[in-house]
Amino acid sequence: MTQTLTILGLESSCDDTAAAVVRQTGDTPAEVLSSVVFGQTELHSAYGGVVPEIAARAHAEKLDICVIEALKEAGVTPKDLDAVAVTAGPGLIGGVMSGVMCAKGIAAATGLPLIGVNHLAGHALTPRLTDGIAFPYLMLLVSGGHCQYLIVRGPEDFTRLGGTIDDAPGEAFDKTARLLGLPQPGGPSVQAEAENGDPKRFRFPRPLLDRPDCNLSFSGLKTALMRMRDQIVAEKGGLTRQDRADLCAGFQAAVVDTLAEKTRRALRLYLDENPACPTVAVAGGVAANTAIRAALLDVCAEAGATFTAPPLRLCTDNAAMIAYAGLERFRSGARDGLDLTARPRWPLDQSSPALLGSGKKGAKA
């Protein structure tokens, strides 16, 4: 029988309050009926980072408005829903709790089943929502708080091949922007500056390329950038527009080269095991970077693999990915009770050892 499922999703793990409705009939393509996102960038801009208490309060204030809007935009009422899915971690615990409490309230009031979703699973399953790709595939998740290579075999079956041992690439872009006095979020502003810069003028390190594994490190790039910036300031008394563009271009080239080479290695490992499914997908805010996308596309072409990148609005944090991941869990029979708990840490691959420092600095996933 072809079952139609309509799922409400809630997301509040970092600085975006979001609600969405996703529908799927059998194995036909899933449809995003609505996806409402209230960003909090302005609330945190004076502090140079996300302030957890401010974020949690703003989520609590905005979640019900978001839900009402998402239902209205989708043209559905709670009676049309099959379940409510919510990010239950990982993330800033106050924000995750706001979402979980809101979802529990909806479930208790309507009798709808409750489905807890891992935020990272939401990102990792997005290419199935947007492009309907089949399991298994290799996923590179690159965001402000995470960077990892995952073999995705099922809605709850992930193997991590490697990841960052310190900063995530988005975090490195954001810190670079801060060091150069560019606006936040740093990714788009550094990319824009890099377009007018010479990537060869400053030589940034390519961390961990001397090691054969798929782990990455980005914190050294920020230190290198700070040294170069300070040296120019000491010599010339300040940075010119061109200095800034060249620093951005050098930094971005180092991130691109590192991600390209580590992706080449991860893809080799993945293809050894799954030669019949040569599919690579990318997700997370950093996937918006055109230089990174182009490099990944080249790596996939070299290896004869297909490359998929969801549209930007579904690469960055949103609730459609949570509703969809919830839909996949629901279909496989999973249900959570009102005792569902919010989890600050929640690795997708519980069997892989924790990576040194990974996810420590940013709950942003």
Tell me whether strands 157-163 and 147-154 are parallel, antiparallel or unpaired.
antiparallel
Give me the helices (H) in 132-203, please. 169-179, 186-194
**Residue 350 Cβ, how far from ligand KG4 at the closest point, in Å?**
21
Which one-letter amino acid corresponds to residue 204?
F
Shortest distance (Å) from residue 76 CB to Zn ion: 25
| Residue 214 near which of Zn ion, ligand KG4, none (CB within 5-8 Å, type-dependent) | none
Specify whether the CB–CB gap between 145 and 363 falls below 8 A: yes
Q: Phi, psi at residue 169, to the nearest 5°?
A: -60, -40
Q: 13-25 burial by CB neighbour count: b if 16+ within 10 A, else e?
A: bbbbbbbbbbbbe
For residue 277, count other CB atoms closer than 10 A to its CB.
Answer: 18
Phi, psi of 348 (to 5 degrees): -70, -40
Contact range with Zn ion by CB under 5 A, out of 106-114, 177-185, 226-234, 314-322:
314-322
Binning the chain into helix, strand and coil, the percentages to the nearest 5 are: 45, 20, 35
- Of 322 and 365, the one with the shorter C-beta distance to Zn ion is 365
Binding partner selected for residue 173 from Zn ion, ligand KG4, none, CB under the kind-specific 5 to 8 Å limit? ligand KG4
Show contacts with Zn ion in window 91-130 (CB under 5 A): none
Q: Which listed range, 76-84, 260-268, 280-288, 294-302, lies at the site for ligand KG4 (CB under 6 A)? A: 280-288
The pattern of x and - marking residues 297 through 336 that bind ligand KG4 according to CB under 6 A reads: -------------------xx-------------------
Question: Does residue 174 touch ligand KG4 according to CB under 6 A?
Answer: yes
Region of 95-103, 132-140, 182-190, 213-221 interacting with ligand KG4 (CB under 6 A): 182-190
Per-position b or e across 305-323, b if 16+ CB within 10 A of its CB: bebbbbeeebbbbbbbbbb
Count, residues near ligand KG4 per rule CB under 6 A: 21
Q: Is 289 an interacting residue with respect to ligand KG4 (CB under 6 A)? A: yes
Question: Cβ(37)–Cβ(13) under 8 Å?
Answer: no
152: nearest Cα among 182, 118, 179, 178: 118
Range 187-246, binding ligand KG4 (CB under 6 A): 187-188, 191
Options 157-165, 210-218, 281-289, 340-348: segment touching ligand KG4 (CB under 6 A): 281-289
Which CB atom, from 23 or from 160, has the smaller least distance to ligand KG4? 160
* Strand pairing category for 157-163 and 279-283: unpaired
- Binding segment toward ligand KG4, per CB under 6 A, in 94-102, 103-111, 150-158, 278-286: 278-286
Least distance between ligand KG4 and beta carbon 92 (Å): 11
Q: Tell me the closest approach of the beta carbon of residue 77 to ligand KG4, in angstroms.
A: 30
Cα separation, 334 vs 243, whole angstroms: 54
Residues in contact with Zn ion by the rule CB under 5 A: 143, 317, 365
Residues in contact with ligand KG4 by the rule CB under 6 A: 14, 143-145, 170, 173-174, 185-188, 191, 284-286, 288-289, 316-317, 364-365
